[in-house]
Chains A and B, each alone.
Chain A
Amino acid sequence: RKEVEQDPGPFNVPEGATVAFNCTYSNSASQSFFWYRQDCRKEPKLLMSVYSSGNEDGRFTAQLNRASQYISLLIRDSKLSDSATYLCVVVHMDTGRRALTFGSGTRLQVQP
């Protein structure tokens, strides 16, 4: 089973749409969670951390369900500039590793 699993997409949505991505993680000892965004052939850029109570940053809302080992990202009012690959990222705590473990990403294409 993959450590961090995401639907690869692509999600093709019109401008202004609301789109949601999901992610599941296999290691119950995972303690920190993030969404990164990656444009084609560029570096991952931190979009937002994900907190247990859920958190919002403008048009972006992230939620965490520890019982189901599930993370989500909701994007409201999609813009053309939101087109990118969205990477679900976790940090495991049980092995001592503090490095980021990445999912393969979900590709979003926002269309005019």
Chain B
Amino acid sequence: EPEVTQTPSHQVTQMGQEVILRCVPISNHLYFYWYRQILGQKVEFLVSFYNNEISEKSEIFDDQFSVERPDGSNFTLKIRSTKLEDSAMYFCASRPRDRGYEQYFGPGTRLTVT
């Protein structure tokens, strides 16, 4: 069964550094998402991406964040200058066009900012 994959599984970085989190969505899916989950808290929406552009973003997704689909398979989340409060699990998700709003999640990247 096709799966969303994410790399790396764990990223440790120093405050102020840039990080890029990578995702490979399921191949025939057209909508892509990033969510985050701070330890002990609920899953929160960051951004959605369709047709090579951002379709929605939350209040969390400020100028420090950007997303890109550099080729036909990868979907990346960049955090320009990490803060301590960016420490969280970051999940990528994708959904097909024809299955309502069901989304399928990758295993996540644990980001630790020190």
Residues of A within 8 A of B (CB): 32, 34, 38, 41-46, 49, 87, 91, 96-105
Contacts and interface: CB of A to CB of B under 8 A. Distances in A.
A53 B3 CA distance: 30
Interface of B: 31, 33, 35, 41-45, 48, 55-56, 58, 89, 91, 93, 100-108, 110
Contacts, number: 54
28 contacts: A34-B101, A38-B43, A41-B89, A41-B110, A43-B105, A43-B107, A44-B91, A46-B104, A87-B42, A87-B43, A96-B56, A97-B45, A98-B31, A98-B48, A98-B101, A99-B33, A99-B45, A99-B48, A100-B43, A100-B45, A100-B93, A100-B101, A100-B103, A102-B43, A102-B44, A103-B42, A104-B42, A105-B42
A99 to B, nearest CB: 4
